[in-house]
Chain A
Amino acid sequence: MTRTRSLRVDRVACTGQGLCAELLPELIDLDEWGYPVLKGRAVPGELRAHARRAVAACPRLALHADRDRP
């Protein structure tokens, strides 16, 4: 059984580059200044690959998909 993951934004590191919202629009919106708004924290199974890509794309390494504690 694989553990579920939840999104977390390191708000201090985030500079509102907005790549995450391009790669994961299902879970991430941007506010009017380009900073992410999480629509939901839990990453559904079908979005896991997309979430991974969004995490990898963040130039500030501010997006994390943390493994949930069982």
Chain B
Amino acid sequence: MNSSATAALSARPSAASGEPRLLAGWYATGRPAALSDHLGRYGPPPVPAGKGGRTSVPLVEAVEAAGLTGRGGAGFPTARKLRAVAERRGRAVVVVNAMESEPASRKDQFLVAVAPHLVLDGAVLAAVAVGADTVHVCLPRDRTAQYRQLSAALDERRRARLDPVRLRLHALLHAYVSSESTSLVRWLNGGPARPQGSPPRTHERGVDRRPTLVDNAETLAHLALIARYGPDWYRRAGTPDEPGTTLVTVSGAVAAPGVLEVALGTPISTLLDRAAGPTDPLRAVLLGGFAGTWLPAAHLDTPLARRDLAPLGAAPGAGVLVALPRAACGLSETARMLAYLAAHSARQCGPCHFGLPAVAEDFTTLATGRADPGLPARLRRRTGLLPDRGACRHPDGAARLAASALHTFADDVGHHLAHGPCPAAHRPPRVPVPPATPPETWR
């Protein structure tokens, strides 16, 4: 190990929770890390010798011991995914999911912008670990600047002959459900970027009918650090159940919105303070994203961890936190988000084709105040019939948002039914929602 790498090791994030890891380079230099910066800080990716071998067990074991979970929203244990792919016969494929279609999330874009090589290191290390010879990096088509930047990063690596596997960059259409792992696989196989529900699963038969590992960009960046510093180091941040740090996009009524890296288990109020604190008294926070949960302001001391959020019906999801001020109308905000989710469904399954638009429409009626007394019951029934009935989890997420809004803003529901829309319903939205127009193409 050369001296600069040692220096990087000595300068690596300390044990104190909340110290940046993925964003350490960004905080140290304030500029995106080129390959030379990256190698100077971390050294080359520790690809095990004899990489032609079937799998590199140590990395999978290290990831398992570290307790890394997927950062795309579902929070699945990464080691189990690695193992499932590694155990299949035949050359595997690794797909980097940098689609980040969640409108309230910026963390993958930010990470890929400031530390592209950390993500790519993770992808290459995962590829070697599962016996893959190809890595497909998937970005949405409309982020052209990011595409250029990442393709320059790939060129740098190619020139440096850094990677024992092929890396390919792809630009996919940008729709909410096109970031689903099966959508990526279908698109890479020449099909539409829409989710696939039925078996075989991606880890059994994915891209080119080969075992395929699809991981979120941030997950792979964590993996790249675990490969270097080991599981014990990784566990020094976070809680024993949910170790490590995570990227969070804080927006809404906070003074300094942006992407933060925090230890899992950090209280939500601390997170808001890290974003320079709320600008207004808060009503609630949206946690996890458009497919997430409204958390009433009374629960802001809850740690950002699955275990603590589960009793409240919430989850960290893709690390999204939107602060909603007391003056805003939670029902109208939710109605706009639901309309977007309904427009962005793949329209493949009954619940997304009919149920989700009906729920969105009911919600709009409720928010804009022409609701009949039977509406809440109908809305609850329709919302209850969304989960677990689609090819992907899109209807489940929309149902979670709708149900949590009805719960968190229960007083408003009564008020809207009795007196029509509240004054805040006609103010500009606090949660920015992209236009609710369906994608023009699925290719």
A residues whose Cβ falls under 8 Å from a Cβ of B: 9-16, 31-35, 37
Cβ B196 vs Cβ A33 within 8 A: no
In the complex, the chain A residue whose C-beta lies closest to that of B389 is A11
Cβ A31 vs Cβ B385 within 8 A: yes
Cβ B198 vs Cβ A35 within 8 A: no
- Complex Cα–Cα for A9 and B362 (A): 27
With contacts A31-B385, A35-B350, A37-B385 taken as known, whether A12 is within 8 angstroms of B355 at the C-beta atoms is no
Cβ B351 vs Cβ A11 within 8 A: yes
B4 within 8 Å of A (CB atoms): no
Cβ B354 vs Cβ A14 within 8 A: no
Q: Which residues of A contact B198 (CB under 8 A)?
A: 10, 12-13
Q: Which residues of A contact B382 (CB under 8 A)?
A: 32
Cβ B197 vs Cβ A35 within 8 A: no
Cβ B354 vs Cβ A35 within 8 A: yes
Cβ A31 vs Cβ B197 within 8 A: no
Cβ B390 vs Cβ A33 within 8 A: no
Q: Which residues of A contact B389 (CB under 8 A)?
A: 9, 11, 35, 37
- Complex Cα–Cα for A16 and B355 (A): 12
A32 CB to nearest chain B CB (Å): 8
* Chain B 344-368: CB-based contact to A (< 8 A → 1; otherwise 0): 0000111101110000000000000
| Number of interface residues, chain B, beta carbon within 8 A | 15
Cβ B349 vs Cβ A12 within 8 A: yes
In the complex, the chain B residue whose C-beta lies closest to that of A31 is B385
Known contacts A10-B198, A14-B349, A31-B355; 7 additional CB pairs below 8 A are: A11-B351, A12-B197, A12-B348, A13-B198, A31-B354, A32-B354, A34-B350
Which 8 A-B pairs have CB atoms at the shortest separation, nearest pair first? A35-B350, A11-B349, A33-B354, A12-B348, A10-B198, A11-B391, A12-B391, A11-B197
In the complex, the chain A residue whose C-beta lies closest to that of B195 is A12
Q: Which of B225-275 contact A (CB under 8 A)?
A: none
Q: Which residues of B contact A35 (CB under 8 A)?
A: 349-351, 354-355, 389
- Complex Cα–Cα for A12 and B351 (A): 10
Q: Which residues of A contact B354 (CB under 8 A)?
A: 31-33, 35
In the complex, the chain A residue whose C-beta lies closest to that of B386 is A31
Cβ A33 vs Cβ B391 within 8 A: no
A65 CB to nearest chain B CB (Å): 14
A59 CB to nearest chain B CB (Å): 15
A12 CB to nearest chain B CB (Å): 4
A54 CB to nearest chain B CB (Å): 17
- Complex Cα–Cα for A10 and B389 (A): 9
In the complex, the chain A residue whose C-beta lies closest to that of B395 is A11
A33 CB to nearest chain B CB (Å): 4
* Chain B 65-105: CB-based contact to A (< 8 A → 1; otherwise 0): 00000000000000000000000000000000000000000
* Chain B 385-410: CB-based contact to A (< 8 A → 1; otherwise 0): 10001110000000000000000000
Cβ A16 vs Cβ B350 within 8 A: yes
B207 CB to nearest chain A CB (Å): 19
A–B Cβ pairs within 8 angstroms, 26 of them: A9-B389, A10-B197, A10-B198, A11-B197, A11-B348, A11-B351, A11-B389, A11-B390, A12-B196, A12-B197, A12-B198, A12-B348, A12-B349, A12-B391, A13-B198, A15-B350, A31-B350, A31-B351, A31-B354, A31-B385, A32-B354, A33-B350, A34-B350, A35-B351, A35-B354, A35-B389
* Chain B 370-392: CB-based contact to A (< 8 A → 1; otherwise 0): 00000000000010010001110
Q: Which residues of B contact A34 (CB under 8 A)?
A: 350
In the complex, the chain A residue whose C-beta lies closest to that of B388 is A38
In the complex, the chain A residue whose C-beta lies closest to that of B385 is A31
- Complex Cα–Cα for A34 and B391 (A): 17
- Complex Cα–Cα for A16 and B391 (A): 14
A14 CB to nearest chain B CB (Å): 6
A63 CB to nearest chain B CB (Å): 12
- Complex Cα–Cα for A23 and B349 (A): 21
B67 CB to nearest chain A CB (Å): 27
In the complex, the chain B residue whose C-beta lies closest to that of A13 is B198
- Complex Cα–Cα for A21 and B383 (A): 21
A36 CB to nearest chain B CB (Å): 8
Q: Which residues of B contact A31 (CB under 8 A)?
A: 350-351, 354-355, 385
- Complex Cα–Cα for A55 and B390 (A): 19
Q: Which residues of A contact B350 (CB under 8 A)?
A: 11, 14-16, 31, 33-35
- Complex Cα–Cα for A34 and B354 (A): 10
- Complex Cα–Cα for A11 and B196 (A): 9
